[in-house]
Chain A
Amino acid sequence: MSVYFLHVLILVAIYGILALSLNIIVGFAGLVSLGHAAFFGIGAYLSGLLMISGLGFIEAFILSGVITAILGLFLALPALRVKDDYLAIVTLGFGIIVTLVFMNLDVTGGPDGLVGIPPVMLLGKPLYSKPGFLALTVGILSIMIATVYTLKQSMIGRAWAAIRDNDVTAMFMGINIYTYKALAFITSSFWAGLAGSLYAHYTAYINPHTFSMHTSIKVLAMVVLGGIGSITGSLLGAALLVLLPEVLRPLADYQDIFYGALLVLLMVFRPQGIMGRVKITEMFGRGR
């Protein structure tokens, strides 16, 4: 396999983790989030900085997930006081603030970004090989798919589905909807943080631009395109939106036009996404 092809596959796997993590908020719990790249970025910067400051990869990797999850809870506390369109705006604002913080702190390297992030270290050796990194990323993605699938089938998954379907009735059933919404944000940001960590150590260089609103929208598009709530869908969506720009590369300047047009066509002809049953309009409380 060519190095280029491996590189694309690694990106597909990392964005797969990221899209699947957003699917927990959007697909399982039925909430809107337009700031997901912030968690991706927090995980990336944390993991990079922790390893630069001397921590081992495994410690930095796990800590970046855990700390991002805690920050996810901090976002959830104010965000869950509002619903639907308002929640979208709150998460959008959160994403913008986090990008600005990356841009202006000294420790994150400001707009120039963080340079010289150490590579993944496993068993005392640096992991430079692309097949090796792909295996690591796919391994973590697989663990994630297994946990997320189990979660979806559990009582927690059922409570999320109930909240997504009708939160007032969920309260009738004795479900504490705020606890479960917060849990969705915590779980989701944990995995987004891990995706960020993998990304940082893979590219060895990160800057605030990678974690801007543009990425949040792209990840949301992956989830919607694949089908809201579907695990396979999120992975397909990630693969599609990472591969598509590569395939369209020969079109050069016209690339984005085709990219946009394809998204529009897909939403017109298949609003529930490739694998999904829920339509995007229902996310905003319409179409019920």
Chain B
Amino acid sequence: MLQVRNLHTYYGHIHAVKGVSLHVKPGEIVALIGGNGAGKSTILKAISGIVRGASGDIILGDEQITHLSSERILKNGIGHVPEGRRLFRGLSVRDNLMLGAYSRRDRARVRSDVGEMESLFPILGQRKRQLAGTLSGGEQQMLAIARALMARPKVLLLDEPSMGLAPIITSQIYEQIRHLNRDEGISILLVEQNARLALNLAHRGYVIETGRIVMEGQSHELKQSNEIQRAYLGKGYREVWE
């Protein structure tokens, strides 16, 4: 479905992503895990065309989308839920959803999709007139995901959906993501610092370190790997929130 081959990106002179290749099959959840500054978010931004000047190939279905504008990439079917959610805080929940469908021209379908989002995330229906900035963190994350879904993407890029959320809220969000994938058939590329969370959800995973993929495999294999247990799952330490 989505294929990335030999991707390189630069911020000025800094070589942030150094030849990454990965793919997402239809109906799959793929996790990118790794520490701060490993280049995970940059990979997502390069795919959705927000970071410009990437070299390599990004292919969606059988179309080259590498050098398209972010508007075209969005229309082609890449939805991006950015890190930190980036909602229109001063606009209503409903307006945020409508703006997610901005790139679409089938107005009638958009209206029914708003209804669909509100049944998928009932809280968004209850709060439709409320300003997005006044929602709780978890509600904001749901709105950010729903807003991206309004563009009817084939692949959803999720950047740190657990960021800044209480563990119980995080697990609710992850349940929603699992549901979207299983019941709505949406392919997902997930970036997450919390490796355990990500690998429990994803089918496959890639481990990124300083702009390179250092390991890849099925989630259950990665979870077993000594290397990952030591570096990312904190084996031997009880995580406080568990």
Does B100 lie at the interface of the complex (its beta carbon under 8 Å from any beta carbon of A)? Answer: yes
Q: Are B89 and A172 in contact (CB under 8 A)?
A: no
Given A158-B95, A158-B99, A162-B99; A172-B80 close (CB under 8 Å): yes
Within 8 A of B (CB), among A264-281: 277-278
Within the assembled complex, what's the spacing in Å between the Cα atoms of A168 and B90?
14
The answer for the CA separation of A277 and B89 in the assembled complex, in Å, is 13
Q: Which stretch in A65-73, A173-181, A205-213 binds the other chain?
A: A173-181
- Contact A165–B70 (Cβ < 8 Å): no
What 1/0 mask marks residues of chain B from 91 to 125 whose CB sits below 8 Å from any chain A CB?
Answer: 10001001110110000000000000000000000
Cα distance A135–B81 in the bound complex, in angstroms: 52
Q: How far is the CA of A185 from the CA of B191 in the complex (A)?
A: 40
B71: A residues at CB distance < 8 A: 174, 176
Q: Would A174 and B75 be within 8 Å (CB), given that A158-B95, A158-B99, A162-B99 are in contact?
A: yes
Mask for A222-251, Cβ within 8 A of B = 1, else 0?
Answer: 000000000000000000000000000000
Cβ-based interface call for B74 (8 A): yes
Do the beta carbons of B89 and A165 come within 8 Å of each other?
A: yes
Partner of B102, one of A159, A168, A277: A159
Residue in B86, B88, B90, B102 whose CB lies within 8 Å of A278: B90
Chain B residue numbers with a CB within 8 Å of A262 are: none
- Complex partner residue of A172 from B75, B86, B91, B95, CB under 8 angstroms: B86
> What string of 1s and 0s marks CB contacts (under 8 Å) between A147-167 and chain B?
000000001001101101110
Docked pose: A275 CA to B166 CA in angstroms: 37
Q: Is B91 within 8 A of A161, CB to CB?
A: yes
B169 proximal to A (CB < 8 A): no
Specify the chain A residue showing the minimal Cβ separation from B131: A277
A101 within 8 A of B: no
**Bound: A165/B91 CA distance, A:** 7
Considering only CB atoms, which chain B residue lies closest to A175 in the complex? B102
A172: chain B residues within 8 A (beta carbon): 50, 70, 80, 82, 86
Residues in A neighbouring B70, C-beta threshold 8 A: 171-172, 174
Q: How large is the interface on A (under 10, 10 to 19, 20 to 34, 35 or more residues)?
A: 10 to 19
B87 is an interface residue with CB less than 8 A from chain A: yes
Q: Is the CB of A169 within 8 A of B88?
A: yes
Q: How distant is the Cα of A135 from the Cα of B30 in the complex, in angstroms?
A: 66
Chain B residues near A162 (CB-CB < 8 A): 88, 91, 95, 99, 102
Number of chain B interface residues as a range: 20 to 34
Contact A165 B88 (CB under 8 A): yes
Task: Flag A129-145 by CB within 8 Å of B: 1 or 0 each.
Answer: 00000000000000000
A172-B50, A172-B80 given as contacts; is B88 within 8 A of A161 (CB)?
yes
B90 contacts across to A, CB distance below 8 A? 161, 164-165, 277-278
Give the distance in Å from the alpha carbon of A175 to the alpha carbon of B70 in the complex: 10
Is there an interface contact between A169 and B95, defined as CB atoms closer than 8 Å? no
What is the bound-complex CA distance between A161 and B91, given in angstroms?
Answer: 8
The chain B residue sitting closest to A278, CB to CB, is B90
Residues of A within 8 Å of B100, CB to CB, are 173
Within the complex, the shortest CB–CB distance from A69 to chain B, in Å, comes to: 25
A169, B81: Cα distance in complex, Å: 11
Contacts of A169 in B (CB 8 A): 82, 86-88
CB neighbours of B151 from chain A (8 A): 174
What separation, in Å, do the CA atoms of A173 and B98 have in the docked complex? 10
CA gap between A235 and B158 in the complex, in Å: 45
Min CB gap B4→A, angstroms: 20
- Bound together, the chains give a CA A173 to CA B75 distance in angstroms of 10
Interface string of A83-114 (1 = CB under 8 A from B): 00000000000000000000000000000000
Within 8 A of A (CB), among B120-158: 151
User: What are the residues of chain B within 8 A of A170 when measuring CB–CB?
Assistant: 88, 99
Instruction: Show 26 residue pairs from A and B whose CB-CB distance is below 8 angstroms, ordered by the A residue.
Output: A155-B98, A158-B95, A158-B102, A161-B88, A161-B95, A162-B88, A162-B99, A162-B102, A165-B88, A165-B90, A166-B86, A166-B88, A169-B82, A169-B86, A169-B87, A170-B88, A172-B50, A172-B86, A173-B99, A173-B100, A173-B103, A174-B70, A174-B74, A174-B75, A174-B151, A175-B102
Instruction: Knowing that A169-B82, A173-B102 touch, tell me 13 more A-B residue pairs with CB under 8 angstroms.
Output: A155-B98, A158-B95, A158-B99, A161-B95, A162-B91, A162-B95, A172-B70, A172-B86, A173-B100, A174-B70, A174-B71, A174-B75, A174-B102
